[in-house]
Structures are given as structure tokens and as C-alpha cells.
A = this chain, B = another copy of it.
Amino acid sequence: MTGTSNTQATLKVTTDAWEALFRAQVAVMRQITTMPEFAKLSLREYDVLFNLRHAPENETRLVDLNKHLLISQPSLSRMITRLEERGLVSRCTDPTDQRASRLKLTEAGLSMQQEIGRAHVKQLHLLLGEAMSEEEFIELQRLSTKLHNAVE
């Protein structure tokens, strides 16, 4: 059909899908960041709390957390200092590796994440709930996850 016989999707199809996904992400994020809840915490800070929330026992090493974010390691290090000062995250040396910092959501941090998370979800639902059918959302999730797994 395409003239090539390997198993790769064509350049164009791959790129078009990525650009569409990227543009959708920007558009939705633009809407979400207008929410009053994000006055309390920047998007990047929320993302840190979100990732900690989904780590086993709400705890990770700094370097592992960093792998899920777009910011640099030094930026994350300083952001954690600020979140620590605000009582949202605690930092302690890993007993099994004296180099490493173990980060953990505090009670306050957990509450904050849940509060913003709920508002976030509500807003998303309002914004997107009628955009597509239930089946389409499920398919979008499946394909996004597949893409994600491919690059990890």
C-alpha cells in the first residue's frame, strides 16, 4: 500500500499524531491553569505533589521523581526546598544511600494535592465531559498509555 514493507508507521502519520496530542495537551492545560486553585500552587509544583501522591507510600527519591518531570534536577531540588518550607513535602536522607534524598508528602501536602486534584477533575469533566463518548475516552487513554510505554 505504502511501498515500504517494514512494521513502522509512516513518518507523517507518526508526526501528525504527536503534534495533535501535543496541541491538545497545550489547549487543555491553558484552560486548567486559569482555575483559581492554581493560585496556591504553580502547575509544576502541583505536578510534583501529584507524582508523590502516586508513588508507593507517597515517597520517592529526588532523582526518580525528576524522571517524570520536564524541569531540571537543580530546579527540582530548589522547588522541593520551597515546598518543604511551606510544609507540603518532607525531605530526609535515605538510610540505605547517604547521597540520596527521600521525599515524602506531608499530611498538609496530601490534603493540598487532594483539594486541587478534585477541583482539577471537576473542571476537566466540565470542559471535556461532552467532547467525546465514553468509549472514545477509553480508547484515547489506551493509545496514550501505549505511546507512553513505548518511550519509557
Q: Mark A132-144, 1 if CB is under 8 A from B, else 0.
A: 1110111111011
Residue of B with least CB distance to A117: B15
Inter-chain CA distance A140–B10, complex, in Å, is 14
Inter-chain CA distance A101–B107, complex, in Å, is 48
Residues of B within 8 A of A124 (CB): 14-15, 18
B22 x A152 contact (CB < 8 A): no
- Name the prevailing secondary structure of the A interface residues: helix
A26 x B152 contact (CB < 8 A): no
A47, chain B: closest CB distance, angstroms: 8
A140 x B143 contact (CB < 8 A): yes
In A111-135, the 8 Å CB interface with B consists of: 121-122, 124-125, 127-134
Q: Report A's interface with B, CB cutoff 8 A.
A: 7-11, 13-18, 20-31, 33, 67-70, 121-122, 124-125, 127-134, 136-141, 143-152
A sample of 5 inter-chain contacts (CB < 8 A) reads A11-B121, A20-B144, A20-B145, A21-B144, A28-B148
